[in-house]
Amino acid sequence: MKRRPTLIMAMVPFLNEHLLTPAHWQRIEALCEVPDREPLTAFAEARAPQLLAAAEILLTSWGCPVIDAQVLAQAPRLGAIVHAAGTVKQHLTAACWDRGLAVTSAAAANAVPVAEYTLGAILFANKRVFQIRQRYREVREFRWWPLEFPALGNFGKVVGIIGASFVGRKVLELLRPFAFDVRLYDPFVNAADAAAMGARKADLDDLLREADIVSVHAPALPETHHMLDRARLALMKEGATLINTARGALIDAEALEDELKSGRLYAVIDTTEPEILPPESPLYDLPNVVLTPHIAGSMGAETQRMASLAIDEIERFVHGEPLRYAIQYSDLARIA
């Protein structure tokens, strides 16, 4: 019988029970030896040296401590780091790739709920669901709603997608059944690729001028910091809706607040800069803003999709097959 490689975990402890179901554990333990089901939360823990010395596969998720050359020196048998969450930038260092480790993440699985949230936001935004709900509470009578909310409805609306990331591509896929005119801005995508995804390639400024909905799915990089600045937000037409499920740093927060306070734009915002807005922020109360606390990504049972993808990758590694979602060091310059 083939020897099973040793797997250890590093993540915040409460994820252990939410992320991994009994069915997941059955799959893991059929593939690997697991000397301790309790994840490491710090590599300075008393049990860490023994676990790291045995580790051939490291399963990580949110809250994993930084893995640098000093940590790797304690893990001479380690061959793969499998991240059951999205970005690996917060805990992996160049030393992981210098060692030749196989690295993979569940970003593709985490993209699914973000894209679902985005689709719901697009459909509700064009129908002005939240604003009409509030107005209906106030008047409590029949109104011809298109008179109060011009351009109401989804048919034929221009939807602009910024970024053909995992999330951006999934959003494009979900938009296919609807009668939208979809535009895509991504400097790494050509016109043919955009068309294959159901969109028309667009210049960023043109997209902002023409779109009824602008949805942001670009990675947070030095090059994308405040990519939607005051000048670019001013390009958006009156009554357009901005959706941000990516990172708050992609948008100039002060400029966005000014636009929203003026009432010129609508917004559905799941990510902000800072991550938690101060209590006095007007975004909590503005009638043209739907503000949620970074819930678009995997929450609750949705985390189990990430676990399933991670275990699929572990299975490929154990069987000597190529990883489907392998991450190279060079990828870090253009991914979230």
**Has residue 260 got a pLDDT over 70?**
yes
Q: Does domain 7-105+300-333 have CATH number 3.40.50.720?
A: yes
The pLDDT assigned to 54 comes to 98
Q: In this structure, are residues 97 and 329 in contact, taking their beta carbons and an 8 Å threshold?
A: yes
Q: Which 8-state DSSP code applies to residue 326?
A: B
Residue in 302, 309, 322, 318 with CA at minimum distance from that of residue 24: 309
Q: How far is residue 323's CA from residue 315's CA, in Å, rounded to a whole number? A: 9
- Give the chain's mean pLDDT: 97
Q: What is the pLDDT of residues 130-164, one digit of tens each?
A: 999 999 999 999 999 999 999 999 999 999 999 99
Buried/exposed 70-82: b ≥16 CB within 10 Å, e otherwise: ebbeebeebebbb
Q: What is the pLDDT of residues 101-117, one digit of tens each?
A: 999 999 999 999 999 99
Q: How far is residue 27's CA from residue 65's CA, in Å, rounded to a whole number? A: 25
CATH topology of domain 110-291: Rossmann fold (3.40.50)
**Has residue 2 got a pLDDT over 70?**
yes
Catalytic residue numbers read: 247, 275, 294
For the chain, which residues make up each domain, given as ranges?
Answer: 7-105+300-333, 110-291
Residue in 18, 74, 20 with CA at minimum distance from that of residue 42: 74
pTM: 0.95
The CA distances from residue 189 to 52, 88, 107, 118, 320, in Å, are 41, 23, 19, 21, 32
**Has residue 37 got a pLDDT over 60?**
yes
Domain 7-105+300-333 and domain 110-291, same fold? Reply is yes
Q: In this structure, are residues 89 and 62 in contact, taking their beta carbons and an 8 Å threshold?
A: no
